[in-house]
C-alpha cells in the first residue's frame, strides 16, 4: 500500500519537475553575437499583410548598412543590403525591434527582432542615431 502511494507521488513529482524545467528552458532564446556586436543572428519578418512569420537570419553591420544573409529558401528573399529606418517602440521588455528598409527601395520594409540584453542592441542604437 505504501509503495503504491510512493510510486504515484514520485510519478507526479517527476512530471511536475519536467514541466517546470521546460518552462525555464523556453524562457531563454539562443542568439549568437560577436564580441564587438557587429555580427549576430536575429529574427526578421517582412512588413506585409501576407507574411507574419519570423525567419532567423545572420546579420552583419557594415558601416551604415545592414547586410543580411542566411540559409534556406525563406532567407533568400531577405538577403542583401538594408538600412536602419528607426527603432520601433514595443511593449515587450525582453526584445527590441528595429524597422529596416531595403537599400535603394522605399516600399520594402522589414522588422528586425533581437533580445533586449544582446550586445548588438547598442550597435543598432548607435546606427539609429547616425
**Would you say the pTM of this structure is higher than 0.85?**
no
Q: CA-to-CA distance for 19 and 96, rounded, in angstroms?
A: 28
Determine what percent of the chain is predicted with pLDDT higher than 90. 13
Secondary structure (H, E, C), 92-128: CCCEEEEEEEECCCCCCEEEEEEECCCCHHHHHHHHH
pLDDT mean over 30-48? 85
Class of domain 39-129: mainly beta
**Is there a contact between 110 and 70 (Cβ–Cβ < 8 Å)?**
no
Residue 7 pLDDT > 70, yes or no? yes
Assign 130 a pLDDT band (cuts: 50, 70, 90). Answer: low
**Is there a contact between 4 and 10 (Cβ–Cβ < 8 Å)?**
no
Residue with cell 502511494: 5
Residue 65 pLDDT > 80, yes or no? yes
pLDDT mean over 59-75? 85
Amino acid at each position: 500500500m505504501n509503495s503504491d502511494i510512493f510510486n504515484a507521488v514520485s510519478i507526479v513529482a517527476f512530471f511536475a519537475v519536467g514541466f517546470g524545467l521546460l518552462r525555464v528552458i523556453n524562457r531563454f532564446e539562443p542568439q549568437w553575437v560577436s564580441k564587438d556586436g557587429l555580427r549576430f543572428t536575429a529574427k526578421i519578418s517582412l512588413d506585409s499583410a501576407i507574411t507574419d512569420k519570423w525567419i532567423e537570419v545572420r546579420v552583419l553591420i557594415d558601416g551604415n548598412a545592414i547586410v543580411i544573409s542566411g540559409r534556406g529558401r525563406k532567407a533568400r528573399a531577405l538577403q542583401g543590403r538594408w538600412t536602419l529606418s528607426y527603432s520601433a517602440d514595443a511593449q515587450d521588455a525582453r526584445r527590441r525591434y528595429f524597422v529596416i528598409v531595403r537599400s535603394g527601395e522605399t516600399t520594402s520594409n522589414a522588422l528586425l527582432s533581437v533580445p533586449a540584453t544582446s550586445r548588438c542592441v547598442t550597435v543598432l542604437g548607435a546606427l539609429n542615431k547616425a
